[in-house]
């Protein structure tokens, strides 16, 4: 390891740790780290589900003479998860982090920069893979009667497992950036790269549907049939992802020569992939990175009449600030991706369980019979709320300004007006949430005129209340010291705190809905809308008052 690489890795780890600490503590405070156990508790249900699912896979696979099936599933899914999100992470870290402009003029080879950032990304992927891979490895290691090589091999394979998919993502990103850096709409291509990666992950989840039917009985014929279907699917995937097969063969009990051959092959390919990525980076990385900093003019000539017409237009402060918020999000691919992901994922989660035409038809028929139920619009607004809880737009409205926050603080406009402009920007996504829900209700044939009105008004008032609550959290503890745009949204723990606050509000509304259902069903939606309207009004005033105070206190 070269001296430069050691220094870069040390700096990368320090930046990652400080970003995590500041994100949890809201800046200089360390007390926010005490909330980490609370975060981990939120993953307990997911971990329990994965353990139960993989144990069922192991027991059923063993009865079919294929106990290592559980390893094959874990290795394949783990690598596909890394690949599906790798393009977005790589592009953001390689090309949009602020330290790139400082590193390029230094006497550091591009391969060293890429390798250090790659290792930083890989450390984050371990946390992503752990709930998928580790339960399967532990279950197999305990119950399969493995050899003495299992533990060291499993540890090394887990550490090397993200290498191949992330190298593929890195090569794709490096070539993409090098080719598109001269294109006028290069930011569009970068966002599309992230969307393609997301589509890969969602597509695999759709076709595999591991445990989608919720049947965890190892002795059931349905589970045995699903194992057989997945085995065929994984064998086909194995042609394109041989590293899963090598990792499985290296760990399975009774492997010839303790699985040394497969282990050496797996490790050699991972290291060779790293070397190949560094070689490509030496040739192409600086071209894409430097080109990404250039701006191309539109080439359109502005006449005197056009100039007079543009400068003669007067905007109100609220509208001008709204336009600023809109452009700030849309012109930063990392911000735009984080804002769009919930809108893409939610419809997929609704469609994913319905894989057969008979199932869809039966569900539509049952839903249509209850189209006039007072619970239908309440459920629709509930889905809008759930989608709002996944959005990070409002909870990072201040943090996204980063080092340029001083500009907002020095504008001759009251901070409360700026907060209301941020709320208007957030409402764009609230409207999109409502449109998706209305489309879903129409698809299931439960959208009556009254339901349309209730969901529209209820969704928008709920969106306003949720938006102000998220901005209050961000005003209390903004994260302005990020070095990578994705840290402002994806790495901002204000999103988690805002989500917890939203879920608390959802619980209150759910309790009121349940009470009205038994006491006066026709008043369910008027009561819900009234609650959200009052919340939006009170939270809007609170956010405005807090902004007037905090804009003076916040240090950027």
Residues 345 and 275 in one domain: no
pLDDT band at 58 (very low <50, low <70, confident <90, very high): confident
pLDDT band at 295 (very low <50, low <70, confident <90, very high): very low
Residues 37 and 47 in one domain: no
Residues 350 and 273 in one domain: no
The pTM assigned to this predicted structure is: 0.57
Residues 146 and 230 in one domain: yes
134 Cβ neighbours under 8 A, 6+ residues apart: 158
Q: Is residue 210 part of a domain?
A: yes
**pLDDT over 60 (residue 190):** no
**Which pLDDT score, from 0 to 100, does residue 34 have?**
56
**pLDDT over 80 (residue 55):** yes
Range of the domain at 53: 43-291
211 versus 373: the higher-pLDDT residue is 373
**Which pLDDT score, from 0 to 100, does residue 494 have?**
78
What pLDDT, in 10s, does the model give residues 200-228? 555 545 544 444 444 455 555 555 665 66
pLDDT band at 182 (very low <50, low <70, confident <90, very high): very low
**Which pLDDT score, from 0 to 100, does residue 208 have?**
45
162 Cβ neighbours under 8 A, 6+ residues apart: 78, 79, 82, 122, 125, 126, 129
Q: Average the pLDDT over each of 53-57, 191-195, 390-394 and give the range with the smallest value.
A: 191-195
Q: Is residue 515 part of a domain?
A: yes
Residues 334 and 283 in one domain: no
Can you tell me the mean pLDDT for 354-372? 62
Residues 106 and 191 in one domain: yes
Residues 118 and 183 in one domain: yes
Could you give the 3-state DSSP secondary structure of residue 453? helix
In SS3 terms, 139-206 reads as HHHHHCCCCCCHHHHHHHHHHHCCHHHHHHHHHHHHHHHHHHCCCCCHHHHHHHHHHHHHHHHHHHHH
**Which pLDDT score, from 0 to 100, does residue 108 have?**
84
Closest to 23 (Cα-Cα) out of 477, 452, 392, 387: 477
Closest to 423 (Cα-Cα) out of 453, 389, 454, 398: 398
CA atoms in the 13 A half-sphere facing the CB of 466:
34
Residues 27 and 99 in one domain: no
Residues 126 and 5 in one domain: no
Q: Is residue 179 part of a domain?
A: yes
What is the distance between the alpha carbons of residues 13 and 32, in angstroms, rounded to a whole number?
Answer: 20
Q: Is residue 311 part of a domain?
A: no
CA atoms in the 13 A half-sphere facing the CB of 324:
22
Q: Is residue 299 part of a domain?
A: no
What is the distance between the alpha carbons of residues 466 and 480, in angstroms, rounded to a whole number?
Answer: 22
Residues 125 and 259 in one domain: yes
Q: Is residue 308 part of a domain?
A: no
> Please, is 334 exposed, middle or buried when counting C-beta atoms within 10 Å of its C-beta (0-12, 13-18, 19+)?
buried
**What distance, in Å, lies between the first and last C-alpha atoms of the chain?**
36
Number of C-beta neighbours around residue 284 at 10 A: 18
For residue 445 the two structure tokens come to 């044939």
Q: Is residue 305 part of a domain?
A: no
Can you tell me the mean pLDDT for 239-266? 85
**Which pLDDT score, from 0 to 100, does residue 207 have?**
46
The most distant pair of C-alpha atoms in the chain lies apart, rounded to whole Å, by 82
Residues 26 and 118 in one domain: no
**Per-residue CA distances from 467 to 273, 349, 412 (Å):** 44, 24, 24
In the chain, % helix, strand, coil (3-state, to 5) comes to 80, 0, 20
Q: Average the pLDDT over each of 46-50, 247-251, 303-307, 498-502 and give the range with the smallest value.
A: 303-307
Q: Is residue 404 part of a domain?
A: yes
Give the number of domains in the chain: 3
Residues 283 and 322 in one domain: no
What pLDDT, in 10s, does the model give residues 67-90? 888 898 889 888 888 887 777 778
CA atoms in the 13 A half-sphere facing the CB of 199:
6
What is the distance between the alpha carbons of residues 452 and 457, in angstroms, rounded to a whole number?
Answer: 9
Q: Average the pLDDT over each of 84-98, 223-237, 452-466, 519-533 and give the range with the smallest value.
A: 223-237
Mean pLDDT for the chain? 77
């Amino acid at each position: 390891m070269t001296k430069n690489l050691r220094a870069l890795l040390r700096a990368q780890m320090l930046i990652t740790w400080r970003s995590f600490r500041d994100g949890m503590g809201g800046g200089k405070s360390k007390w926010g780290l005490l909330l980490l156990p609370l975060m981990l508790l939120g993953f307990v249900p997911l971990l329990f589900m994965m353990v139960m699912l993989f144990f069922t896979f192991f027991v059923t696979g063993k009865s079919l003479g294929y106990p290592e099936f559980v390893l094959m599933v874990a290795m394949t899914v783990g690598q596909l998860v890394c690949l599906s999100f790798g393009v977005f992470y790589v592009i953001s870290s390689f090309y949009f982090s602020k330290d790139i402009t400082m590193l390029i003029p230094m006497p550091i080879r591009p391969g060293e920069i890429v390798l250090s950032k790659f290792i930083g990304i890989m450390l984050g992927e371990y946390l992503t893979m752990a709930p998928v891979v580790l339960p399967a490895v532990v279950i197999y290691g305990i119950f399969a009667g493995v050899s003495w090589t299992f533990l060291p091999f499993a540890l090394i394979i887990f550490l090397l497992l993200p290498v191949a998919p992330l190298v593929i993502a890195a090569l794709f990103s490096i070539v993409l950036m090098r080719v598109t850096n001269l294109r006028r709409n290069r930011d569009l291509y970068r966002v599309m790269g992230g969307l393609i990666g997301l589509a890969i992950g969602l597509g695999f989840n759709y076709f595999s549907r591991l445990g989608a039917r919720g049947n965890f009985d190892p002795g059931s014929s349905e589970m045995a049939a699903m194992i057989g279907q997945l085995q065929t699917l994984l064998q086909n995937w194995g042609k394109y992802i041989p590293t899963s097969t090598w990792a499985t063969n290296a760990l399975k009990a009774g492997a010839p020569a303790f699985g040394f051959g497969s282990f050496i092959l797996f490790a050699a390919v991972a290291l060779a992939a790293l070397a190949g990525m560094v070689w490509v980076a030496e040739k192409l990385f600086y071209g894409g990175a430097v080109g990404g900093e250039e701006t191309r003019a539109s080439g359109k000539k502005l006449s005197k009449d056009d100039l007079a017409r543009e400068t003669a237009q007067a905007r109100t402060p609220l509208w001008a600030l709204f336009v600023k918020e809109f452009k700030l999000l849309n012109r930063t691919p990392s911000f735009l991706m984080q804002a769009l992901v919930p809108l893409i994922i939610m419809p997929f989660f609704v469609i994913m369980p319905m894989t057969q035409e008979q199932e869809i038809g039966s569900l539509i028929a049952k839903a249509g019979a209850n189209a006039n139920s007072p619970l239908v619009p309440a459920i629709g607004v509930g889905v809008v709320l759930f989608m709002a809880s996944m959005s990070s737009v409002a909870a990072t409205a201040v943090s996204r300004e980063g080092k340029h926050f001083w500009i907002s603080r020095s504008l001759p406009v009251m901070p409360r007006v700026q907060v209301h402009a941020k709320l208007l920007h957030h409402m764009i996504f609230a409207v999109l949430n409502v449109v998706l829900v209305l489309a879903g209700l129409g698809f299931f044939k439960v959208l009556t005129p009254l339901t349309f009105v209730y969901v529209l008004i209820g969704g928008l008032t709920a969106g306003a209340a949720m938006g102000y609550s998220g901005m209050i959290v961000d005003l209390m503890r903004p994260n302005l010291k990020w070095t990578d745009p994705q840290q402002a949204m994806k790495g901002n723990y204000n999103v988690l705190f805002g989500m917890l606050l939203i879920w608390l509000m959802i619980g209150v509304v759910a309790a009121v809905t349940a009470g009205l259902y038994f006491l006066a069903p026709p008043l369910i939606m008027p009561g819900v809308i009234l609650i959200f309207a009052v919340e939006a009004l009170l939270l809007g005033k609170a956010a405005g008052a807090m902004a007037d105070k905090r804009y003076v206190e916040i240090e950027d």
